[in-house]
């Protein structure tokens, strides 16, 4: 049985190279990572894929919010990142079933140095039928 750690050790570099070749947006150099990618459109109640990141030195839970309200998410895999001190995360995020059509935001939070949640990134999504 292959563990997540074995998967990452074996396939992490390949996933990283594939992301670079695909033209993924990454922050240049050792600065802060700004990668948070979600689909442009979705439907209420759908589970959507997301590519996010997390800093190695931060302790505490990662939080995903939909229009500033916490939503459920699942961590599928993680991989190495070209930015030192950062791990790329492959997630699925639940879009609230009662959400209205139109433009919404999905926010990514992690604990800051003070232990309180700090906003890392925001992605816009349009909900349709």
| Span 9-43, pLDDT tens digits | 454 444 433 333 333 333 333 345 557 899 999 99
CATH number of 4-128: 2.60.40.10
Q: What is the pTM of this model?
A: 0.69
Please work out, in degrees rounded to the nearest 5, the angle formed at the alpha carbon of residue 41 by the alpha carbons of 18 and 123.
70
CB of 62 within 8 A of CB of 107?
A: no
Nearest to 122 by CA among 66, 84, 62, 72: 66
Measured CA to CA, the distance from residue 82 to residue 91 in angstroms comes to: 19
How confident is the model at residue 12, as a pLDDT? Answer: 46
The yes-or-no verdict on residue 57 having pLDDT over 90 is no
SS3 83: coil
């Amino acid at each position: 049985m292959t563990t997540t750690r074995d998967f990452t050790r074996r396939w992490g570099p390949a996933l990283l190279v594939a992301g670079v070749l695909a033209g993924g947006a990454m922050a240049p150099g050792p600065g802060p990572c700004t990668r948070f990618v979600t689909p442009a459109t979705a439907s209420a109640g759908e589970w959507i894929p997301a590519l996010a990141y997390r800093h190695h030195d931060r302790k505490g839970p990662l939080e995903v919010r939909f229009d500033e309200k916490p939503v459920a998410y699942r961590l599928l895999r993680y991989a190495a990142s070209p930015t030192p001190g950062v791990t790329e995360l492959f997630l699925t995020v639940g879009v609230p079933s009662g959400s209205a059509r139109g433009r919404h935001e999905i926010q990514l939070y992690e604990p800051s140095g003070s232990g309180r949640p700090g906003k890392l990134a925001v992605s816009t999504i349009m909900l349709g039928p």
